[in-house]
Amino acid sequence: MSFISQLINGLSIGSIYALIALGYTMVYGIAKMLNFAHGDVIMIGAFSVFTAISSLHMNPMYAVLIGIITCVTLGVLIEKIAYKPLRKASPLTVLITAIGVSFLLQNIVLLIFGSTLKPFPSIMEVDSFKINENFSITGKSIITMVVTFIIMILLTLFINKTKTGRAMLAVSEDRGAAELMGVNVNKTISITFAIGSGLAAIAGVFYASTYGFIGPYSGSMPGIKAFIGAVLGGIGSIPGAMIGGILLGVVESLSKAYISTELSDAIVFAVLIIVLIFKPSGLLGKNRTEKV
């Protein structure tokens, strides 16, 4: 496969990472926490769609909708039950709780569905787009990239132009001030988790369609990689998450093609370490210093 094919592959998987990274970065910006369970919400999204189609025989469009609703509900519930009571707790406490939630989701799915990988039904039936004799872009890639692109534009407009979106920016900037200005902080945080989780559901569908199989641990690795993408772009920055996610997808794809598949994971983590050493705030991030 030529370089351009690998590149497009990378852009496609990178778009998925970008969608997931958005969830991480928004939650980190607003709630100042790393939602460790976010990756597993992706997996739940994929499983809900899977169940809707295979067991309930729903139309794929409705199934995806069910997936989104499930994830949004789950995200908001998790926030209310596990994270909200810990708003004043130490970051270590919140992190452990998030790990607990992640572990919980993985093992609930494991109990219900078992550990064998399930084939994900094919729902993106679009013909490949042929560029010339040598290669073409798969239908899946096209849909993934186009939909992600549209979502990113919509999200940017939402954040910058709507009242709720700007409230999210305000709360992430200075929670106390936002509250004094009349922003309903609880509602804003819930909405942030809702949006992030909704995007996770869509990412889950794309991821499952691209790789074909899902299992209880399927969300873990893409979640971590997407987080690395968010850090690369600057945690807390929405354009950063988009760029970081896509960039990471490209790095991963090219590493798999030109270096080694086994080492590609290690390379992705090496990227994280290098970024954190040399530019801890990421490409587009702001240097947030703690008040002394």
Give the nearest distance from C-beta 122 to other proteins in angstroms. 29
Binding mask 48-87 for other proteins (x = CB under 8 A): ----------------------------------x--xx-
| Residue 75 vs 198, nearer CB to other proteins | 75
Figure out which of the listed residues 55, 161, 163, 292 binds other proteins, where binding follows CB under 8 A: 292
Figure out which of the listed residues 56, 77, 111, 112 binds other proteins, where binding follows CB under 8 A: 111
Any contact of residue 231 with other proteins (CB under 8 A)? Answer: yes
Any contact of residue 89 with other proteins (CB under 8 A)? Answer: yes
Give the nearest distance from C-beta 139 to other proteins in angstroms. 32
| Residue 37 vs 178, nearer CB to other proteins | 37
Any contact of residue 262 with other proteins (CB under 8 A)? Answer: yes
Q: Which of residues 114-133 bind other proteins (CB under 8 A)?
A: none
Question: What angle is formed at CA 244 by the lines to CA 242 and CA 247, rounded to 5 degrees?
Answer: 105
Q: Which stretch binds other proteins (CB under 8 A): 43-51, 58-66, 200-208, 225-233?
A: 225-233
Figure out which of the listed residues 228, 232, 246, 271 binds other proteins, where binding follows CB under 8 A: 228
The crossing angle, in degrees rounded to 10, of helices 3-31 and 139-161 is 30
Give the nearest distance from C-beta 89 to other proteins in angstroms. 4
| Residue 1 vs 89, nearer CB to other proteins | 89
Q: How far apart are CA 122 and CA 101, in angstroms?
A: 30
Any contact of residue 30 with other proteins (CB under 8 A)? Answer: no
| Residue 34 vs 247, nearer CB to other proteins | 34
Give the nearest distance from C-beta 276 to other proteins in angstroms. 6
Q: How far apart are CA 174 and CA 40, in angstroms?
A: 29
| Residue 140 vs 225, nearer CB to other proteins | 225
DSSP secondary structure string for all residues of the chain = --HHHHHHHHHHHHHHHHHHHHHHHHHHHHH-S--TTHHHHHHHHHHHHHHHHHTT---HHHHHHHHHHHHHHHHHHHIIIIIGGGTTS-HHHHHHHHHHHHHHHHHHHHHHH-SSPEEPPP----PPEE-SSS-EE-HHHHHHHHHHHHHHHHHHHHHHHSHHHHHHHHHHH-HHHHHHTT--HHHHHHHHHHHHHHHHHHHHHHHHHHH-EE-TTTTHHHHHHHHHHHHHH-TT-HHHHHHHHHHHHHHHHHHHHHT-HHHHHHHHHHHHHHHHHH-TT-SS----PPP-
Q: Are 174 and 5 in contact (CB under 8 A)?
A: no
Any contact of residue 150 with other proteins (CB under 8 A)? Answer: no
Positions touching other proteins (CB under 8 A) are 33-34, 36, 82, 85-86, 88-97, 99-101, 103-104, 106-108, 110-111, 220, 224, 227-228, 231, 262, 265-266, 269, 272-273, 276-277, 280, 290, 292
